[in-house]
Amino acid sequence: MPKASWKGTVLAETEEYEVVEGNIYFPVDSINSEFFKASATQSHCPWKGDASYYDIQVGAEVNPDAAWYYPETKDAAKNIQGYIAFWKGVEVIE
């Protein structure tokens, strides 16, 4: 069962997930939302669409833009619409 953690804190854990380009995408209902703070950062993927980001905050420590998601995807990526993926030191184990 995939689990995402940072600084010893579990951010997300699920039995249902999607893997795209080597990244595990977690459904929104599998995250511990108290650690997620909306970020103003956005990026664009030509085949997935526009991504939005979250800062991860555990205690006083913040990992900026460490999680991303696609609120609205292009047709080729509908399977990850609204799902959340991680990087920047967040450990994801399958």
Backbone angles phi, psi at 15, to 5 degrees: -100, -20
pLDDT of residue 39: 98
Measured between alpha carbons, how far is 73 from 82 in angstroms, rounded to an integer?
A: 8
Task: Please give the tally of structural domains in the chain.
Answer: 1
User: What share of the chain has pLDDT > 90, as a percent?
Assistant: 99
Q: Kindly state the tokens that stand for 8.
A: 């010893």
Q: What is the mean pLDDT of residues 78-91?
A: 98
- Nearest residue to 51 via CA among 70, 25, 76: 70
Domain range for 89 is: 3-93
For 1-32, letters b (16+ CB in 10 Å) and e give ebbbbbeeeebbebeebeebeeebbbbeebbe
**For 4-34, how does the pLDDT look when each residue is reduced to its tens digit (9 = 90+)?**
999 999 999 999 999 999 999 999 999 999 9
Q: For the chain, give the mean pLDDT.
A: 97
CATH code for the domain in which residue 82 is found:
2.170.150.40
The overall pTM is greater than 0.85: yes
